[in-house]
Chains A and B, each alone.
Chain A
């Protein structure tokens, strides 16, 4: 069974631009969570989607948003990029919300110049 896939793997943007990241969960998994990983803050929860609905949201500004499609694929968007948004963005999928086992993708490395 294929794992969680994230595209693109690397992205370079400039301040003020917006970016959209994509995540395809493991087949049959309906819950998708997004995390931001930085050296300074570690892994921080962004949001979780299930059945096209946002279930939980972490403590991030409104510039960070997401959505989930009927096939469980998810996208996250960051508008008006700031230098501090440079990070590894990880997507994790699970069968159900808040399931014990989450499977992480390899992440998208975003660099903001």
Chain B
């Protein structure tokens, strides 16, 4: 059962543009929502995370927007750079097991 749905599967953005990746979850027990960035040949690295008690969190060019009532959250990358080209995964954690459930990933390409 896919509990975190991520879209789009791939995204192409021009340098300087805004990249937006969306995720939706089903399990209302989730209480921690991280985003991971993965470069080829590397493991995922934590980029930014949010808890449902806030609607937005910003770290540099990266912002998470969270809509608890809609059970959706999104990653915004402002002023996208070619170095941001990577695969991005949203994830969620909660419930008794507290294991991470990942979205299917978005391959972002930022054109120079």
Chain B associates with chain A: yes
Interface size for chain A: under 10, 10 to 19, 20 to 34, or 35 or more residues? 20 to 34
How many angstroms from the CA of A104 to the CA of B41 in the assembled complex?
12
How many angstroms from the CA of A64 to the CA of B86 in the assembled complex?
29
Give 9 A-B pairs besides A43-B89, A43-B100, A92-B43 with Cβ atoms closer than 8 angstroms.
A33-B99, A42-B102, A43-B91, A45-B100, A45-B101, A56-B98, A56-B99, A98-B93, A106-B41
Query: A-side interface residues toward B, CB under 8 Å?
Result: 4, 33, 42-45, 48, 56, 58, 90, 92, 97-98, 100-107
Can you spell out 28 A-B residue pairs with CB atoms less than 8 angstroms apart?
A33-B100, A42-B89, A42-B103, A42-B104, A42-B105, A43-B44, A43-B89, A43-B91, A43-B105, A44-B102, A45-B99, A45-B100, A58-B99, A90-B43, A90-B44, A92-B43, A97-B98, A98-B93, A98-B98, A98-B99, A100-B34, A100-B49, A102-B100, A104-B36, A104-B45, A106-B41, A106-B42, A106-B43
Among A44, A58, A104, the residue within 8 A (CB) of B44 is: A104
Most chain B beta-carbon neighbours within 10 Å: one of A4, A43, A90, A104:
A43
Measured CB to CB, the closest approach of chain A to B100, in angstroms, equals 6
Q: Is the interface of B mostly helix, strand, loop or mixed?
A: strand
